[in-house]
Amino acid sequence: MRRRLGVYVLLAMAVTGVIVWILVAGRTDPERHEAITGTERNHPPPSLDLPLSEKVAPPGRPPKIIPSANARDGELLVRFKNAGEVQVFLARARQLGVRVLGRLPRLNTVRIGYDTSEQGEALHSSLPAGATAESNFIVSVPANPEPGSTAFGGPYLGFGDQALSWLGVPTDHSSWGEGIKIAVLDSGVKRGDGGNFQSVQEIDLIGSQSKGMSDHGTAVTSIATSVAPEASVLSIKVIDAQGVGDSFTVAEGILEAVDNGARVINISLGSEGDSSVLRNAVNYALQNNVAVVAAAGNEGATSVSFPAAYPGVIAVTAVDANGRHATFANTGAVSIAAPGIAVGVPWTDVSDPATMFSGTSAAAPFVSGTIAGILSQSGSMTAREAGNLLIQYSNDAGAPGQDAVLGSGILNVDRVVKRNVSGINDAAIADIYVTPSKSGQYSAAVTIQNRGTTILNGAQLEIQVGGQTWRYQFGGLNVGQVATQTLSLTSDQLTQSSGIEVQSRVSTAATDSKPANDAKTVILSVEK
């Protein structure tokens, strides 16, 4: 039976290169990413608590062929049931004619290289029952978006040096991050004459291949430490000079980060391939109460990259300074949004001191830095609890409630910091969102949110469209809760050249602490 399987693998490799069958895990965590509908719904924090899984993928999923372009040629990652099987295999590796390129003892995983299909056949035939072999998928820096381009819905409004104040980071946050270690899995950091990053601890898992590519990792590290300036940084090089790595090396970096005391791991990288090895490395971090934050990706795809797609990972998308979703950012299993358009990179040693950084790579470290900052101010809180706070106190945006585009909403550091300050009254217009229709009718959802710290009683929403005014009254809204009023619009209204203006305003009997977010006006239109 094993001989026939080996022949099958040989024939498959001869046709396509390296083709590996894997069971593909679902990219959406239904508990975390369920779309919320209805006129009034709570906005609770989704649970990120998940056990370490030894499964390659949920049962019942069909195998999927992964194109060899997404993986390292001539490599396989072999997972064994236990350390004893690993040792038996290693003793036979030379006899099989394969090379041992790396090991992850915690995951009973060996990275194997081979040169011929015959060696691949011998490798498959030699595996004990229960061992699995899969591709070593390519991991890379997300595509670099152009904020001014119209290709992905732009142009967008950049943040410049205003991102921290836009998020509500306290003016005096100089002690944030003290005693907390952030691991940045990236290209390393550039050390210059200015003294930046001189004290960063560094682990190089790439070696000479990584020389010449550090601006991306420098920018990511700069953003995280701009939020948490006292955090210590563990920079782990996992990508080469071209910004390319693989799932094995990223998994190794995660294990190194956890074992070296990191409380937060930032991964502004992504892959199209679902690797059980990388998934289990992530689960190892989650099991040890380490927060894992990852970029959703910049390909405009309807599914986020791995490892952002794994349950328990905080998958970060990008918005501009108007709170508008950047359509180049992948959608799907998104957790939260953060600034990701023309962000002025602080404290860098890159050649241009006015460097602007865009994409979900830039958005993720704002979340990582905020988690480190909250941890340093919150005593015994775990990193994953801090991550849940960011999700719980985010600003709802886009479609009402949790959605696949903006997740729980946009990061609001001020709300997290002031969550225990009693008596804050803050009614806000969250967004005005249009749902397309094939019948010529469209629904415009105007959503309000209680962003204060006390129950919001008697909120009144006023909407003006085309010279008409409607007023709606809402009962008590709990902290974080959203309420939505839906209007019907016709295609004739939305397809006129000037679009149609929708004005909205929310008011309460009590004095509002942030009147600036009480009103929102948008021009809605659709293409004919």
The DSSP secondary-structure symbol of 119 reads: H
Establish whether 216 is a catalytic residue: yes
Choice among 140, 271, 361, 368 that is catalytic: 361
Whole-angstrom Cα distance, residue 310 to residue 481?
27
The CA distances from residue 98 to 5, 47, 107, 361, in Å, are 19, 43, 20, 36
Choice among 29, 186, 246, 274 that is catalytic: 186
> In sequence order, what are the beta bridge partners of 449?
428, 482
Whole-angstrom Cα distance, residue 485 to residue 479?
18
Whole-angstrom Cα distance, residue 484 to residue 423?
24
Choice among 126, 216, 349, 512 that is catalytic: 216
Beta-carbon neighbour count of residue 333 at 10 Å? 23
Dihedral sign of CA atoms 373, 374, 377, 379 in order:
negative
Whole-angstrom Cα distance, residue 273 to residue 266?
19
3-state secondary structure of 491: helix
| Residues 202/217, Cβ–Cβ less than 8 Å | no
* 29 half-sphere exposure, CB direction, 13 A CA radius: 21
Structure tokens at 213: 């590519």
| Residues 196/350, Cβ–Cβ less than 8 Å | no
The DSSP secondary-structure symbol of 114 reads: -
> In sequence order, what are the beta bridge partners of 71?
137
The CA distances from residue 517 to 43, 106, 430, 449, 474, in Å, are 18, 49, 8, 10, 18
The CA distances from residue 100 to 78, 114, 258, 273, 447, in Å, are 11, 9, 24, 22, 56
Residue for token digits 């563990």?
234
Whole-angstrom Cα distance, residue 154 to residue 508?
35
Establish whether 193 is a catalytic residue: no
What are the φ/ψ torsions at residue 202 (nearest 5 degrees)?
-130, 135
List the catalytic residues: 186, 216, 361
